[in-house]
Structure formats: structure tokens, C-alpha cells
Amino acid sequence: MIPLIVRLPPAVILVGGLGTRLKSVVSDRPKAMAVVAGKPFLTHQLEWLHTNEVGSVLLCVGYKGQQIVDYIGDGSHLGLVVSYSWENTPLGTAGALAKAMELLPEEFLVINGDTFTTLPLGPLWEAHHHNGAIATLAVTTSEDSSAVGGIELAADGRITSFREKESGAQLVSMGIYAISRRIATFIPKKRPCSLENDVFPYLPSLYGHVAKEPFIDIGTPTGYLAADVYLSRLGE
């Protein structure tokens, strides 16, 4: 049998945040440009997307975003086509996505700017299509859901509970999503607003895709140091 070739859509990386939790160790640059294992964290994310055969990336930039533009440019040195959506004031993850919506196709991937994983994206995209979902979240097991979004799934993969940063959930959001433009209808007009708090809990068609791969959130000093160790070993 000939294997199915999954054609992946453009990816959006949300890198416009202020990085408040990380400022004690990274204060002179946006969080995405924090040096991890010898190069900016964003470079690790873009290389991972390229490995997954994602060809086009839209970066939602804000705080100190010119540093990102100056370093990444058009992405050609990474084998990617990179473009930008600017926010002049903090819009939150949902607000940034809403502003970028006119630049996006009917379906796309979204990655939080502080997340790294080796997750293959093809199965996530296939699950999203299979369920006809508005959004499908990559989720994985965790012993502590207090630091990230806790997830509860029904047997068919539908998300029945989305608990942002509460303890007790066995599954957590990895900050990686497959999304349809239909989500625009559910993004509130207020700014800033959050995908995790203001949008996902209210979607009528929200699914989870369970992954076995772990992920690292560099948004805290502890996570930042852990990512440096992990990615250094990964590159050996």
C-alpha cells in the first residue's frame, strides 16, 4: 500500500507576547529570541516545522519584534517562506490570531511561541480533518497540569473540559493547534483575549489529539533552563 502523503498547511507562531514570566533571565529580547542550546529558541521551532514539511510560516510579532524580523528575515536560509503580522499593542493569543486572519488560508496550524516538541504534525492534521473540527489541540500526559491547560477528552476525542492552569487533569495542552478559519466567529472583540481562556472553551467542535511525545514550555526560568539541557542533548 502506498503511504498517505499529508500536505501540511502554513503555520502561525505566536511570538508577540511580553515574556513577563521570563524577564528575570531574559530581558533584552523577545522570548522567542532567547538563546537555547546555542541559538534563538524560535530557530529550533522553525527547524522543527521544516522537518515536518511545513513550507510557509506566519510570525505574529509584537514586543521587540524587529529583532525577530532582523534575524529570521524571509526564512529562506531555513528553507521556509516567512511572513509577519504586527501587533502594536498586546492583543493576546486570540487577538493576535484575529489580526492575522486575513493573511491565512481556510486551515492552518498554530504554535505558541514558547513551546518545543518533536511531535510529528501529520497525525494531528489527519485527526483534525477526520473530525471536521474547528480546532484540534495536541495534548499529552502530565503529572502536573497546574502550569498549563488541563484537558479532559471523551472517547471520540472531543474535549469535554478545558481547564487553564488547574491541577488534577491527566492530559495537558501542548500549545500546538490545527485550526479552521471558522474560529474567527468565536473570537471576542475585546483585546487582549486568549485562545485558551476566551475561545477554546466555547467552541462547539473542539477535539484533542493525544501525542506520546513530551513538550517543553520555555516561558518560565525553570522551563528555559530545562529546554537548554534538552535541546543541547537532542543536538548531540
Of the candidates 73, 93, 92, the one whose C-alpha atom is nearest the C-alpha of residue 84 is 73
Q: Is 220 helix (H, G, I), strand (E, B) or coil?
A: coil
Q: Which residue has the cell 467542535?
A: 205
* Catalytic site includes residue 31: no
Contacts of 170 (CB under 8 A, 6+ apart): 141, 142, 145
The DSSP bridge pattern shows strands 135-141 and 115-117 to be unpaired
Helix (H) or strand (E) holding 49: helix 41-51
Nearest to 128 by CA among 196, 178, 54, 188: 178
Query: At 48, which helix (H) or strand (E)?
Result: helix 41-51
CA atoms within 13 A on the CB side of 26: 25
Q: Give CA angle at 171 (9, 22), nearest 5°.
A: 75
Residue in 23, 31, 165, 189 annotated catalytic = 165
Q: Give every CB contact of residue 232 below 8 A, 6+ residues apart in sequence.
A: 37, 38
Catalytic residue ranges: 165
